[in-house]
Amino acid sequence: MKQWKNFTKGFIKDNPVYILLLGLCPALGVTTSAFNGLGMGLATTFVLLGSNTVVSIIKNLIPNKVRIPSFIVVIASFVTIVQLTMEAYMPDLFESLGLFIPLIVVNCLVMGRAEAFASKNNIGSSIVDAMGMGLGFTLALTMLGGVREILGAYSIFGIQLIPGVTDGMLVFVLAPGAFIGMGYLIILFNYLKKKTA
């Protein structure tokens, strides 16, 4: 029961993007479509899972003073793994996510979970925490991507909603739509949080 709570807290109550406002750069930058949001979310989840696992294993070996640089090296290694794997197997997605893949390393969400959770808890809870937070992040990005794709191109995951109509409200695919869409989704999540609390 405790683990279940630990797992689901990332979805609404402590949603990393809409409630905690962490990792806003990739959330705004890559979500031009639902698919890109999903890809970025899963890439971040993988890094989070890897770094949380390793950090919780080595937490007793690292001297307290150098823990932040050590965490950064662990995170950066997993980011490099994602970067090279994605470039090899999913070149299209890699192209459209671009700069934001190497920038997972400075995503405050990953660092935040390593510092606030994995360095204090055992490996089991750390993995559960990483899964929950990662999926919450994925959910957030897919939702923002979905909203922008539906309004901006009248499609979802590349499937046209209205046959023959392709030019939606372009502003939602461009930069301003990301900010405005995010603003309204924050309101929605604050409402949901209040409802479920």
SS (H, E, C) 90-140: CHHHHHHHHHHCHHHHHCHHHHHHHHHHHCCCCHHHHHHHHHHHHHHHHHH
- Closest listed residue to residue 60, CA positions, set 124, 130, 123: 123
Least Å distance, CB 163 to other proteins, is: 30
3-class state of residue 159 by DSSP = strand
190 binds other proteins, rule: CB under 8 A = yes
Enclosing H/E stretch for 156: strand 155-156
User: What's the rounded Cα separation, in Å, for the pair 132 and 127?
Assistant: 9
Select from 57, 111, 150, 192 the one that contacts other proteins (CB under 8 A): 111
84 or 165: CB nearest other proteins: 84
Q: How many residues bind other proteins (CB under 8 A)?
A: 38
191 binds other proteins, rule: CB under 8 A = yes
79 or 127: CB nearest other proteins: 79
Select from 8, 12, 13, 29 the one that contacts other proteins (CB under 8 A): 29
Q: Which stretch binds other proteins (CB under 8 A): 58-66, 120-128, 152-160, 174-182?
A: 174-182
Cβ count within 10 A of residue 179: 10
User: What's the rounded Cα separation, in Å, for the pair 165 and 157?
Assistant: 16
Least Å distance, CB 178 to other proteins, is: 7
- What are the residues binding other proteins (CB under 8 A)? 21, 24-25, 28-29, 68-69, 72-73, 76-77, 79-80, 83-84, 99, 102-103, 105-108, 111, 171, 174-180, 182-184, 186-187, 190-191
